[in-house]
Each structure stands twice: as structure tokens, then as C-alpha cells.
Structure 1
Amino acid sequence: MPSFLSFDGSEISYELAGRGEPLVVLPGGPGADVGYLGDLGGLGSGRTLVLVHPRATGRSAVPEDRSTVSFVQQARDVEELRRHLGAERIDLLAHSAGCLTAQEYLAAHSARVRGAVLTAPVGRVGREPDEAELAALRAGRSGEPWYPDAAEAARRLAGGAAHGAELADLQRRILPFFWHAWTDQRHIEYRTEHASRVPWYREAFYAGSADATSLPHRLARLAATDRPVLVLAGASDGMIGTAPARAVAACLPHARLEVLRRSGHRPWVEEPERFVALVEGFLAGL
């Protein structure tokens, strides 16, 4: 598996899949194994997907300095990858929490980006769900047979007292909320090995949102970017909702928002043809 040494000497691995012009891909989680993305609904048929294993995930090294796992610092890994690939500019696609890394890279290295696709972003500078929207999305599924169990799990998670195996079980039970349609196939696709096995990963990753730089300044940096961005959201996304995607699209001056009506948090799975058409059309216009 190809790899490179990043700014602090950590080895960062990546995979190459598909054919065509390269597209750098950042997974979410945070800390999820990039394997959950598959071929992004067939996107690899026209692009070479450069599937990044973020630091402390997959086959990439776990750094000694946990602070380098923050999304702010991981944007530096993206720049090191660009240099490693010998590319003057890159096309970038990110999912969920990975969109924070992608946005930081946009803000810090706008001239090195041709265009970016942000899929189901969690927010602009951290997690920014609209709790009222999430509650409404979840309540709208109350007629589903799985709803009582998922709602109870969500209530217990909100209490914040679960840890270890109990936490993993509750997270598994709320999965139906993340999809437009919860089917046996969706259940089969859930693989525990894709989740981060590093207990401190999430806290370290989101520490970037508490960076010393002030919130207004960080938003101003995003608003100053001049690259085209496609923001995608799933209308039924009961994990993060559509509000974060709308906020991201409103913040970036050259962004376009598309809401996929029959998708949840993974639109390339539930509406692959629509997803691929939107992404390919956007990239072709760069």
C-alpha cells in the first residue's frame, strides 16, 4: 500500500482505486476506516480514487502527539499528500467529519484546490447540528418497527453515561436513523471494524474546533475561499441533518448545495446514480 511521511514524520497510507484523473478522498467518522466508502457508488469508474487512511486510522501510523489528530492539523497531511503525488492542484471529496479537514485545507491552501465535494458535512468549524431538525427527522420515523428501540438508544446516548461495549451497542441501535430506508442490506453493510479503535480519537479530532483562532476569524477564512465547492446532503439524514450542509454552503462563496431526497448520511449508497451524476458533472465543469 503506498504511503508518505507527513509533516511530523508520521507515515500516512492511502489506496488507489478506479481509473482516470485522481480524486483525493477523506473519510468521516471521525476515525472511520476508509473502506466503508467502497467505490463511492461507482465514482471510481471515471476517476482514480486516492483513498486516504487518516492518521491513527487504517494502516496509517498513530502519532505520539495526539494534538496532530485534530482536523486542523490533518489538513497538513492533505498538503503533504499533494506534494507526494506531485500535483499542482487537487480535486477533493470528503464525507461527514472529514469535511472539516477538507474545509481547513480549502482555507489554508485554496490555490492548491481545483474544486471540492463536501458530502454530508457535520458543520463549518465543528459539529453544528440543528437539534430541532434532528428531532423532527427522527420523529418522522415513528411508524417504523425499529423506532422504539432506536429512540430509546438515542435517549440513553444523549445522557452521555455510556462507555465501552454499552456505548458501541447504543451506537449500533441508532443506525436506522442515519438512512432514508433501513433495510436488511443496510444492516449487513454495518461493520464494526470500520469504526475507530483509538479511544481518544474523537476528542482529539474535534479539538480543532477549540483552536486558539477565534470562531469569527475561522469563518472569515472560509468565506474568503475562491474555489468551487459542491455540498451534498441527504434529506433523511437523522445523524447530522441538513442544517450543517446548508450552513457550509452559505459560508463558502462559490458553493452549490444539492439535497438528495431519498438519501440519509450515505447518499452514494442510497442514490448512487444521482450521487455520481452530481459529482461527475461538477468535476467536469472545473
Structure 2
Amino acid sequence: MPHVTAPDGTRLAYHLRGNGDPLVVLPGGPMRASRYLGDLGGLAERRRLVLLDLRGTGDSEAPADPASYRCDRQVEDVEALRVRLGLERVDLLGHSAGGSLATLYAARYPERVARLALVTVIPWVIGAPATAEDRLAAARLRAGEPWFATAFPALEAWLSGEGEPDWDLLGAFFYGRWDDAARAHDAAAEWETNEEAETRFHDPAAFDPPALRGALERLTAPVLVLAGELDGGPTPALARRLAAVFPHAERAVQPGAGHYPWLDDPEWFTARIAAFLDAPARRD
């Protein structure tokens, strides 16, 4: 298994899947091992996926300093991976919380990004988290589902802070199809996620929205912001706000998809991502 050494000496693992031009993929969770991404619905048939296990997750070492789990502190891990791969510029995909890291990387190293795909990313980086109202409105779109009557009160209780969340019920709202494959994928999160790192990743101190907006003005790379039609975090409207901070961004909404769109409709997802990645380069 290939590894890269981060600037602070932490040994990070990455996994290679598929063939073609490399696509560096940053997982979400936050701080969930990259295993949950699989082959991104078959995208590995079109691109060579470079799936990074963030520090303290999967096959990567835990850092000596737990404070380095903070999102902005991991930007240099991504840069070390780019150097290790010998790439002048990278095509980069961030899923969910991994999109926060991908965006901070693009702001710090705009000249190193060829294309940036942000998949179901809540825009924490611009101070716009998903609200309880966002999640409830998206959840009500599922009112016709057989599990809705039981799951919706559990969602309301979680969002109001009443007790511990019942993920056996809440998981249904994160998937466009709540089938056996989705249940297994959701259940694996418990042992694939570093809980200590999860609480540190989105430390508000990691983000400076005004400074970020200014830095992103230097980003010439095309950006795709993809949302799931049924996702409550982010909703398509929240994804639109994220797309607006980039000079050259397009937005896509995947029909019938939740937070893991490559599971809900692999063909739609892979076709849309591949079309973005393979589009002719911009001429400034």
C-alpha cells in the first residue's frame, strides 16, 4: 500500500483504484476512512482514483498532535500527496466534509488545481452550515416513504438536541434509496470514523470566510458543485451559495439522490463527473 509522509512526519496511506488520469479524492465523514467511497459508482473505470486516508483514519497513522486534525491543518497533507504523485496540477474531488479540505487547498494552492469537484459539500468554509430548517424541509420530501412516519420524529428530536441520535432511523434521510446496500454503508460509518478527529475537524477557527473568498479569486480552475435533490446537508439551494464563491463554477443537482449520490444512481453520477473532468480546458 503506498504512503506519503506529511510535513509533521505523520505517515499517510492512499489507495489506488482504476485506470486513466489520476483523480485525487478526499473523503468526508468528517474523518471517515476512504473505504466508504468504494469506486465512486464505477468512476474508477474512467479515472485512476487516488483515495487518501486522512490522518488518523483507515490505514494512515494518527498524528502526534491531535490538534492537527483541524481541517486547515491538513491542507499540507494534500500538497504532500500531490508532490508524491509527481503531478504539476491535480484534478481534485472532495465529498461532504472532504470538500471543506479541498476548498481550503484550492485557496492556498490555486495554481496546483486543474479541476475541482465538490460533491454534497456543506459550505462550512464560508460560514454557511446546513440548518435544522434545511434538513427538515429536505426530509419532508420523503413523506411517501414507508419508513418516514417513524424516522421523521427521530430527526426532529436529533435536530432539537433531545437525546442521542438514533442512526438506525436517521440514516434513511441520507440516501436516495434506503435499501440493504444503503443500510450496510451507513452502519459501517461507526467503525470507519475517528470520533476524536471528527469533533476537531470543523473547528470554527479553521475558517476565515472573507479571507477565503479573496483567495479563491485567484482560482482559475473550473469547479463543479454537485448536490443531491433529496439531501438536507447541503440542500441544492445551499450548494448554489457555495458555487457562487468560485470564479468559474457550475452547479448540478442529481435527481433522486441523497448525500451519497454514487450509490443512488451510479450511471448518472459517473457520467456527470466524467463530463466535467473531461471537458476541454478553459482558455483565459
Per the normalisation by structure 1, the TM-score is 0.90
What's the CA shift for 1:197? 4.5
Q: Contact 1:30–1:205 (CA<8 Å) still a contact in 2? A: yes
Q: Contact 2:120–2:233 (CA<8 Å) still a contact in 1? A: no
**Segment drifting more, 255-264 vs 124-133:** 124-133
Q: Which residue of 2 aligns with 1:228?
A: 222
Q: Which residue of 2 aligns with 1:77?
A: 77
Compared with structure 1, are the counterparts of its residues 253 and 197 closer, same or farther at alpha carbon in structure 2 (3 Å cutoff)? closer
SS of the equivalent of 1:251 reads: coil
Q: Which residue of 2 aligns with 1:187?
A: 183
CA distance in 1, matches of 2:237, 2:264: 20
Matches within 5 A, 1:1-286: 1-125=1-125, 128-160=129-161, 162=163, 167=165, 170-192=166-188, 195-207=191-203, 209-211=204-206, 214-285=208-279, 286=281
Q: Which residue identity lines up with residue 278 of structure 2 in the other structure?
A: A
Write out the 4+ residue segments of structure 1 that deviate beyond 6 Å after TM superposition. none
Compared with structure 1, are the counterparts of its residues 195 and 236 closer, same or farther at alpha carbon in structure 2 (3 Å cutoff)? farther
Q: Contact 1:33–1:195 (CA<8 Å) still a contact in 2? A: no
What's the CA shift for 1:158? 2.5
CA distance in 1, matches of 2:182, 2:228: 16
Deviations 1:82-135 (A, max 9, x none): 111111111111100000000000000011111011100111516621443322
Compared with structure 1, are the counterparts of its residues 89 and 124 closer, same or farther at alpha carbon in structure 2 (3 Å cutoff)? same
What's the CA shift for 1:252? 0.6
Deviations 1:168-225 (A, max 9, x none): xx12320111122322332233333565553322221001x323x6432223223442
Q: Contact 2:28–2:99 (CA<8 Å) still a contact in 1? A: yes
Q: Which residue identity lines up with residue 137 of structure 2 in the other structure?
A: A
Q: Which residue identity lines up with residue 230 of structure 2 in the other structure?
A: S
Q: Which residue identity lines up with residue 146 of structure 2 in the other structure?
A: P
CA distance in 2, matches of 1:143, 1:129: 23
What's the CA shift for 1:160? 3.5
Q: Contact 1:24–1:52 (CA<8 Å) still a contact in 2? A: yes
CA distance in 2, matches of 1:263, 1:198: 26
CA distance in 2, matches of 1:258, 1:155: 28
What's the CA shift for 1:50? 0.4
Deviations 1:19-71 (A, max 9, x none): 11111011110011211111111111121100110011101111121221111
Q: Which residue identity lines up with residue 147 of structure 1 in the other structure?
A: F
CA distance in 2, matches of 1:6, 1:215: 26
CA distance in 2, matches of 1:35, 1:97: 15
Q: Structure 2: which 5+ runs fail to align?
A: none
Compared with structure 1, are the counterparts of its residues 22 and 74 closer, same or farther at alpha carbon in structure 2 (3 Å cutoff)? same
CA distance in 1, matches of 2:202, 2:112: 24
CA distance in 1, matches of 2:232, 2:156: 14
**Segment drifting more, 20-29 vs 123-132:** 123-132
CA distance in 2, matches of 1:10, 1:161: 38
% identity of equivalent residues: 38
Cα root mean square deviation, aligned: 1.9
CA distance in 1, matches of 2:237, 2:105: 22
**Segment drifting more, 268-277 vs 137-146:** 137-146
